[in-house]
Amino acid sequence: MLYLVGLGLSDETDITVKGLEVVKKAKRVYLEAYTSILLVDQSVLENYYGRSIIIADREMVEMHSDDILANAQTEDVAFCVVGDPFGATTHTDLVLRARELGIPVSNIPNASIMNGIGACGLQLYNFGQTVSMVFFTDNWRPASFYDRIKENRDIGLHTLVLLDIKVKEPNLESLARGRIVYEPPRYMTVGTCAQQMLEIETERGEKVYDENSLAIGAARVGCRDQVFVAGTLKELCDADETLGKPLHSLVLLGRRTHELENDFCRDFAVDKDKWQSIWAAEYQNKQ
């Protein structure tokens, strides 16, 4: 059996009882280590699980999935994923490959950012499409997120924005010279995300949102030290010091924000009076 085991959002204790039982009995245990991270070291996980762990980077999962699936017809293999295994579509290919080989697959779910973000006070029923924000470069500024946000806001829904992480990314200059040198890990912050969103709004000019659009920055959701900061997109450009270390996410409020949602979120506001004023003018009674 191939088991896809969700590890939750925070540390070694977030794994479910069922997931821990699988990990303890599996022949091999892999940890997918490129779509997200736990906030503890590999050694902490190994000590808690009582098992050695094989780190599965993007190259292994995408190019050498046969190594992961080897002998899984006759022995148990645990593929551990931060959050929930199907919180994103990233691991669908691995499941499809297992099916082609006649390997049974079992999914053990867990909390992910997709439901954990409800702790910011916004109701999960009122979220639209989730989008991703990548690091811009001098010649690459993908803006497909803008159209998805527009679709959400046209019907009044919130948008969860997942922020880019770069883990074990090859240096392109070295790669061009035939050498593989990996860049240090990078994790996008709410400030960078908010700034890039405003840059794209300036370029597109369709008034999907603006500097005064209300949003919530989130850091380390599900952890003991999780932090939320609410404010305008302009205010969130300067919120990184308050939010602290990775991982960060951002939510852009929809115009159907309920009064109870507003009351909850306002406690996180940089400027509570300003937040309330904008909400009353732009969001209240827009359902």
Sign of the four-CA dihedral 115, 116, 119, 121: negative
Query: Would you mind telling me the total number of residues written for the chain in this entry?
Result: 287
Annotated binding site: which residue ranges?
9, 84, 87, 112-113, 163, 221, 248
Q: How far apart are CA 167 and CA 180, in angstroms?
A: 14
Q: In degrees to the nearest 10, what's the CA dihedral of 279, 281, 283, 284?
A: 90
Q: Give residues with Cβ within 8 angstroms of 10, minimum separation 6.
A: 38, 39, 220, 222, 223, 224
Q: Which residues are annotated as a binding site for S-adenosyl-L-methionine?
A: 9, 84, 87, 112-113, 163, 221, 248
Q: Where are the alpha helices (DSSP H) in the chain?
A: 17-25, 42-49, 58-63, 65-69, 92-100, 113-116, 144-154, 172-176, 190-204, 233-236, 240-243, 259-266, 272-282
- Our CA angle for 212, 218, 259, nearest 5°, is 60
